[in-house]
Structure 1
Amino acid sequence: MLSRQACILPITRKVSLNNTKPNKSCIATCSSDAQSQAATTSRPASRGVPPSGAARASLQRLTTGLLTAAIALSALPGPSIASSISIQPIPDPTAQSLKMSSQQLHAGEDFVRGKEAPPLPADFPPLPDVKEPAYTKLVLPNGLRVFLLEDHELGLVGGQLLVKGGTKRVPKDKIGLAAMTANVMRSGGSFDHPADQLDERLERLAAGIEAGASTSTMSLSFGCLAEDLGEVFGLFKEVATNPRLPEDKLKLTREQLLGRIARRNDDPGGIAGREMPKLVYGKDSIYARVADVGTVKAVTRRDVEDFHMANFRPEQGVLGIWGDFSTADVQKLTEQLFGAWKPPTPYLKGTPLQEYLDGEPAANEVGTSEQKRVYLVDKPGLTQGYVRFGELGVTIDDPDVFALDVLNNVLNGFGGRLFNEVRSREGLAYSVSGGWSPAIDHKGLFSGGGETRVDSVAKFIESTQRVLRVATTEEVGPEELSRAKESSLNSFVFNFADSGAQLSRIMTLDLFGVDKDYLFQYKAGVEETTGPSVLAAAQRHLHPDKHKIVVVSDANRARPILEERGWIVEPLEIEY
């Protein structure tokens, strides 16, 4: 078991406040590209004894996994181009080196001394089938669902509280409230342990507590040494159920967010990434809207208090704990700490908060015209063109979701059609991609794009459209199909990289009422995908000639080139 002296690390708070780019993953997420937000604040390094290399690697591996799992909707399988934060395996070379056998060590010594190392085996036994971990589930009298998963490998414990809510419950005149609430929850401490006391205690324990917000959820997570679980879990419960939410921390959070808003249009790619979903979903859609100066300034402490009460409620949450513990002991501790948690009723009386409906924008599904139209954002002096295009996608329960994931791998990555044609053959882009991002509770996006020279913007758009158009008219060949399926299936195993990732996925499925065997259905669905099924799925869901296209570049240079090639150019004013 790791000692506290060996594991004192700095605490880093990481709360989602702004847009992030999609990551390539086989894991489907529950939030759209436009709803993922992020900002980071950090505390100074601990004044304790520096950790050893192995201890630091082990604890950082868990802590980083917790932060990536804070928005646990990403814990589902799906497309290769994911729209939100995804749980990824974290390499731990130090831990791997500690597991080397004496035979391997002697082989290394022989190599250094110039001796011949033993030959590698020619054949390897087949890998065992992945299985769902053996976890314990219980439901407390207040409705909170609890999941416990023992893992005695590292002497560490992690946990997460995930509740339905998030930015979907934010009024349109207070966008940013969800992320601000998450930030102030953690930075402000609890009534029993105000901010400085909480931070100091967590530093001494080499522990961490983090909060986050996404489109459909709010989350709180923790990580600690197994020997400190009782104390850290108690602090975690205080922050979850009785946060202090002080005015000074709200003011600091507001200033930080306003600073990010003031600088965000310095990034041309970020502009295109924000504006394209607005054209697809509609600018007022809960899946496309972003915070601005007015909405951030409108958030008050009363709003934060009410929003916390509206979201952090036992009957709409799941709690998961994984790591080095006894299930019986932790079950008893959980019942003691969370069994008496009762939310206030009614929690929204006299406030303007309300839950917005999740209606799909029919008029924007695939566009309304066959005309070649580009929405151009003017950035004078820009020598590059930043292009984003997209259309409405699918949910994870769409029968075509597996074939579309395979098609993602046909189109993307080294050897993918977009890379080979647009970048390698035609030399039109530094980077190019395009794929689907299914979600649980709403239709995700098909989105893509890239960066190119301003004088090549039109050619870049037309080249990507040709590649996508071929996917809707010709079957994928056997060899290409095999490689794409293999890529999806090879990524599948990373869903089982660690106990935290596995339990977070199980919790997410349970929270949204999805079949717990969905991940294994995904694997079977990919294996059964054929060339004709990929073609049929592309014909139903891919409409390159109707995509909403946003270009950010110098309008004086880009407009005449686009118009010369027959494009209708519509100016797009961005909001600061």
Structure 2
Amino acid sequence: MINRKLAPDFKAIENIKLIKPEHKKLDNGCNVYCFNSGDQELVRIEWIFNNLRFDAAKPLLNMAVNTMLTEGTSTLSASEIADKVDFYGAFLQVDYGYENSLVTLYSLNKHLHHTLPVILDILTNSVFPEKELETFKRNQQQKLQVSLQKNDVVARRDFNKAIYGETIYGLSASFDNYKSLQREDLQAHFKQMYQPGNCTVIIAGKIESDTLTLIKETFDKSWTNGPVAADTSQPELKPAAELFYFVEKPDALQSAIRIGLPVVNRNHPDFQPLQVLNTVFGGYFGSRLMANIREDKGYTYGIGSGLNSFKQGGAFFIATEVGADVCKAAIGEIEKELELLKTELVPEEELSLVRNFMLGSLLGSLENVFSHADKFKSIYFAGLDYDYYDRYATTVKTTTAVELRDLANKYLNFDQFYKVIVGKY
């Protein structure tokens, strides 16, 4: 019998094993990665496309094209696509990111011969009907109108533009951008971007022997590359010269604060120790920012810091909403906590807690085969290999308080921070 009055023994995480994929390449140039694991007769198949080069004159094309893929093809209407997928108990979704756009299908293996042709039709014959496009534009404008009433949304938009400039990472949508969307532009963008040579397929789940054969039969010969290859290069990041931005809202009860600066991305050797430093500072509920500004001062319900990593670069940021009357005081406390990182060593007890949290979070995120596939995507599209996760575990375990202090002095100069405040100051 288990004595429930005694806490279980604490055990340190020694190593983390990741499922690695099998790689195949179709004749049309499409790369396929397979994660075969699990007992349920279910697979998740993702068709992932690199976004085309960002055009500041038409900033919404990548997002609009991906979002509208399921709105109709030359043979199926939006409702017919949904009915075909639902009939077989499958689930279809499209997702847009700064660097990649995804089409994801969850399906039982036994129904793939019915569901895969629907995906092929979407990837080759989407037509972006004019009626659905007008509905999309109207709905997105309404969502934007609501979003712009939120101080934190405005702060994030202004911060991203200051850090990343007029790039896919920095330029947010305007009402006029939606008005100017033209069906002809969407169709041209679709033909160049959604080609097999610009696609990576990732399959995760219980992959049966005939699954890959079915994928090959469905997509290899029937899906061909067009005459123009996808241009997936991106403009260079150009941070703004101005460091301070204040959007006044006289009636605001809370002020949104978003501050930070450009730093290295995950390809740089300093990125992983910076993740440790960020976790100490504001990367989890027990962080210093939470302890000071939420628990001690009561200025906010929540505050945190984070690291963004993109192909072009990265950024360190701090985000919160505080009472409008304590905005200046909150920023002062943030600066004080940064200075402490630069002048005092993190106590070993605190550092040990952070190490356990980070390793436990990584281990906890690997709950099923889909999670392992997601970890692969993070390194694959960054041009890294599985050594990244081995280094991550080692870095978390071995980074010292002295190294964290040196990193804080190297990267976190508060005078160089971009500071965005929306509300009262």
Q: Same fold (TM over 0.5)?
A: yes
Alignment correspondent of 2:167: 285
Partner of 2:398: 528
Correspondence for 1:429? 300
Residues 470/247 of structure 1: CA separation in 2 closer, same or farther (3 Å cut): same
Give the alignment partner of residue 149 of structure 2, picking from 266, 279, 286: 266
Counterpart residue number, 2:335 = 465
1:67 maps to none
How many angstroms apart in 1 are the aligned matches of 2:120 and 2:75?
11
Partners of 2:312 and 2:11 in 1: CA distance = 42
Which residue of the partner structure matches residue 81 of structure 1? none
Q: Distance in 1 between matches of 2:331 and 2:80?
A: 55
**Secondary structure of 1:172 counterpart:** coil
| Alignment partner of 1:132 is 2:18 | yes
Once the two structures are superposed, the pairs formed by residues 78-227 of structure 1 within 5 Å of their partners are 119-120=3-4, 129-133=15-19, 135-165=21-51, 169-188=53-72, 190-227=73-110
* Residue 295 (structure 1) aligns with: 177
The structure-2 alpha-carbon separation of the partners of 1:455 and 1:511, relative to structure 1 and needing over 3 Å to count, comes to closer
What amino acid is aligned across from residue 535 of structure 1 in structure 2?
A: R
CA contact (8 A) 2:65 2:190 kept: yes
Instruction: Indicate the RMSD between aligned Cα atoms, in angstroms.
Output: 2.4
Deviation at 1:508, TM superposition (A): 4.9
Q: Distance in 2 between matches of 1:140 and 1:132?
A: 25
Q: Secondary structure at the match of 2:57?
A: helix
Aligned residues: 421
The Cα shift of 1:123 comes to 5.5
1:463 and 1:171 mapped to 2: Cα distance? Answer: 40
Q: State whether residues 476 and 531 of structure 1, in contact with CA within 8 Å, keep that contact through their aligned partners in structure 2.
A: yes
Distance in 2 between residues matched to 1:126 and 1:415, nearest whole Å: 19
- Give yes or no for contact 1:396–1:438 (8 Å, CA) kept in 2: yes
TM-score normalised according to structure 1 size: 0.69
- Could you give the per-residue CA deviations for residues 30-86 of structure 1, whole angstroms, max 9, x where no partner exists? xxxxxxxxxxxxxxxxxxxxxxxxxxxxxxxxxxxxxxxxxxxxxxxxxxxxxxxxx
* 8 Å contact from structure 1 (residues 183, 253) kept in 2: no
Residue in 2 aligned with 1:445? 315
Task: Determine which of 232, 249, 253 is the counterpart of 2:136.
Answer: 253
1:320 paired to 2:202 = yes
2:220 counterpart residue number: 339
**d(CA) in 2 for partners of 1:458 and 1:291?**
30
Q: How far apart, in 2, do the equivalents of 1:536 and 1:161 lie?
A: 42
Query: What is the one-letter code of the residue matched to 1:414?
Result: F
**Structure 1 pair 129/435, CA: closer, same or farther in 2 (3 Å)?**
closer
Aligned to 2:374: 504
SS of residue matched to 2:138: helix
Work out whether residues 54 and 234 of structure 2, in 8 Å CA contact, stay in contact via their aligned partners in 1: no
Shift in Å, 1:501: 2.3
Paired residue secondary structure (1:472): helix
Partner in structure 1 of residue 357 of structure 2? 487
Structure 2 counterpart of 1:386, one-letter code = A
In 2, the alpha carbon distance for the partners of 1:415 and 1:146 equals 40
Asked whether the equivalents of residues 218 and 311 of structure 1 are also in contact (C-alpha less than 8 Å), the reply is: no
Q: Is contact 2:13-2:360 (8 Å) kept?
A: no
d(CA) in 2 for partners of 1:539, 1:415: 23
- Whether 1:360 aligns to 2:242 is no
Which secondary structure state, in structure 1, belongs to the residue aligned with residue 39 of structure 2?
coil
1:377 Cα deviation after fit: 0.8
For 1:347 and 1:443, the matched residues in 2 are separated by: 25
The offset of 1:304, in angstroms, is: 0.9
Q: Structure 1 residues 474 and 435, CA, compared in 2 at 3 Å: closer, same or farther?
A: farther
What TM-score do the two structures reach when normalised by structure 2? 0.91
Q: Which residue of 2 aligns with 1:18?
A: none
SS for the counterpart of 2:156 is helix
Query: Residues of 2 paired with 1:355 and 1:132: CA distance?
Result: 29
**Secondary structure, in 3 states, of the residue corresponding to 1:435?**
strand
Name the amino acid aligned to 1:479: E
For residues 261-299 of structure 1, give each alpha carbon's deviation from its aligned partner in whole angstroms, at most 9, with x where no partner exists.
Answer: 2222211111111111222233x2332101111111111
Q: Which runs of 4+ in 1 moved over 6 A?
A: 124-128
1:536-555 matches, cutoff 5 A:
536-554=406-424
Q: 1:200 is aligned with what amino acid? A: D
The correspondence of residues 46-65 of structure 1 with structure 2, limited to 5 A, is none
Whole-Å Cα distance in 2 between the matches of residues 496 and 181 of structure 1? 32
SS in 2 for 1:415: coil
Aligned to 2:271: 401
Distance 1:276 1:192 in 2: 43
